[in-house]
Structure 1
């Protein structure tokens, strides 16, 4: 690839990494701080898990993707370990999406038993299982299904000469293409995606039937459920649309050889897969009202903080004093209790 193309690719990767970090930190703050009792709801817990995986893509996967393109010379074992980190984060995203789909399905089809099944303890256990399984599946090449025998032999041959450095580390020099196609793509990505597609198909089919049969009050609740299901299904569609092209390129590389995919096309697929982690926070902001409201609260606090930092301390004091006076003078009605409760809760969260 030409030098200008490599510069453009690196700049885009840096931009995606920054967007992943900032956007997903905002998601975690919005869910954990901005939405009351959100961590008691399994769906939001799994959304936080997905956001953490996307954040780690920006912190670890994107820098490793740039480095593991021949820029570093390390031992084959370390090269393999670094390459597997990318697989672990991808698998964590897939399993988090699967957990969300299962949770919405159980919530809709077993409403009486849902509260008994979806306890906070079981939710955290499910999250632990997702990340443990992600590590086991992502680090599978470390147990023998790798492709660095030639790289290791080159490294051993060159180690006898002190003037010759180790061979460069690249992803496909240590990760086997059969592993990426048969195990990672078909078994760890496509199989969960098919299960999630069936679950969401059942969810929408059931919601459509219930909306026709229910009354006005029940329809409002069902419409909220349908809107959330549509938003989560959109996250799933974006994941599939961003990751499947890269896996299809791996299939072409396996069955037709290196000439089947140009280097520029491969880099485009890598950028698209990484961009998925930066797009998810935008989807949450546009499609999920609770997260959208939490975003607005965070931005308002951030703007007030900026005003305070720029010397408007008198304005901050007057704003805080006016809020306190407003709470005191509102009387003993229900609105005062609500304002006092929200003010107490925000102060406790800030502590």
Structure 2
């Protein structure tokens, strides 16, 4: 790429990283603090897991993607380790989405057994399993499936002539056959196909129940359908943002380096990273509980900002309302929400 193109790419990556950091931190705060007892619901636990993965994309994956483009010179083993971090975070997103789809399917198809199965302890165990599997699958190149021979020869030749290590790039250590056959087909496409089948069954079941149910039950089913649509949208956006980059890897493997221009490849990288910044916007627009939690957090932030700027009337009104609430609770009364 030309110099101005590289500057534009770097600026966009910085903006995406900031958006991932702020947006997903807000999601975690909204679920953990703003929504009461939300972490008792498996879906929101898996949403937190997905938000943490997206948050780490902004903190780690995006900076590494910029650095692992020949800007740093490190040993081959360290270059490989840093490259695998990006794969781990991608896999964590895929498995969190898979866990969400399985949870919604079980909730709909075995409602009587669901509460007994989806306990808080088992939910967090499932989150732990998702992240453990992500580490195993993402760090697979460390166990041998890598561009070891070419990188080692380059490192040996460079180290013999000077003390500077060769530039570290993602594809210099990560094998294209690994990215296509293992990562894309096995770790991304297979879960996406399973999730597509699950959501197809979920929507068919919901549509049938809505036709047969009474008006009182339809409200609950409509809320379930709205949430399923929102989560399916997150899945569609993930596929739409990540599959183009994987298809480029397929072209590079089967047709050689000239099949994909450098600018096109960087566009695919930007699109994949942008997915982590888009998810918090989807939650805010589509999930009512998170909308309410966002509103509460922003209100608290604005009130505290006013207090910090010396708005004594606001601070006194807040203290007064808190004192009245405590007095009411102490006298056995109930405060209105």
Q: TM class by shorter-chain length? A: over 0.9
* Structure-2 separation of matches of 1:241 and 1:111: 32
- 1:330: Cα distance to partner? 11
- 1:204: Cα distance to partner? 0.1
Please state whether the residue corresponding to 1:329 is helix, strand or coil: helix
- 1:160: Cα distance to partner? 2.2
1:114-152 CA-to-partner distances (Å, cap 9, x unmatched) read 011101111011011100000000000000000132121
1:7-58 CA-to-partner distances (Å, cap 9, x unmatched) read 0000000000000000000000000011111111000000000000000000
1:165-212 CA-to-partner distances (Å, cap 9, x unmatched) read 221000000000000000000000000000000000000000000000
- 1:318: Cα distance to partner? 2.9
Task: Normalising by structure 1, report the TM-score.
Answer: 0.92
1:250-272 CA-to-partner distances (Å, cap 9, x unmatched) read 00000000000000000000000
* Structure-1 separation of matches of 2:139 and 2:321: 56
- 1:103: Cα distance to partner? 0.1
Of the structure 1 ranges 216-225 and 306-315, higher mean CA displacement relative to structure 2 is found in 306-315
* Structure-2 separation of matches of 1:158 and 1:27: 46
* Structure-2 separation of matches of 1:329 and 1:203: 45
Q: 1:261 to 1:304 in 2, by over 3 A?
A: same
1:77-115 CA-to-partner distances (Å, cap 9, x unmatched) read 000000000000000000000000000000000000001
Does the 8 Å contact 2:303/2:314 carry over to 1? no
Give the alignment of 1:271-310 within 5 angstroms.
271-310=270-309
* Structure-1 separation of matches of 2:174 and 2:253: 12
* Structure-2 separation of matches of 1:170 and 1:14: 19
The answer on 1:73 being equivalent to 2:53 is no
Please state whether the residue corresponding to 2:330 is helix, strand or coil: coil
Aligned residues: 333
- 1:60: Cα distance to partner? 0.3
Of the structure 1 ranges 65-74 and 306-315, higher mean CA displacement relative to structure 2 is found in 306-315
Of the structure 1 ranges 302-311 and 316-325, higher mean CA displacement relative to structure 2 is found in 316-325
* Structure-1 separation of matches of 2:225 and 2:43: 14
* Structure-2 separation of matches of 1:37 and 1:330: 20
- 1:320: Cα distance to partner? 2.3
Aligned position for 2:87: 87
- 1:325: Cα distance to partner? 3.6
Of the structure 1 ranges 303-312 and 41-50, higher mean CA displacement relative to structure 2 is found in 303-312
- 1:154: Cα distance to partner? 1.5
* Structure-1 separation of matches of 2:329 and 2:120: 37
* Structure-2 separation of matches of 1:41 and 1:193: 23
Q: 1:331 to 1:92 in 2, by over 3 A?
A: closer
Aligned position for 1:186: 185
- 1:305: Cα distance to partner? 0.8
Please state whether the residue corresponding to 1:70 is helix, strand or coil: strand
* Structure-1 separation of matches of 2:41 and 2:128: 16
- 1:324: Cα distance to partner? 3.4
Please state whether the residue corresponding to 1:169 is helix, strand or coil: strand
1:288-340 CA-to-partner distances (Å, cap 9, x unmatched) read 00000000000000000110111113431233214534775799897xxxxxx
Please state whether the residue corresponding to 1:71 is helix, strand or coil: strand
Q: 1:39 to 1:75 in 2, by over 3 A?
A: same
Of the structure 1 ranges 202-211 and 317-326, higher mean CA displacement relative to structure 2 is found in 317-326
* Structure-2 separation of matches of 1:149 and 1:329: 73
Does the 8 Å contact 2:64/2:82 carry over to 1? yes
* Structure-1 separation of matches of 2:83 and 2:268: 17
Please state whether the residue corresponding to 1:145 is helix, strand or coil: coil
Q: Which runs of 5+ in 2 are unaligned?
A: none
Please state whether the residue corresponding to 1:80 is helix, strand or coil: helix
Aligned position for 2:146: 146
Does the 8 Å contact 2:16/2:273 carry over to 1? yes
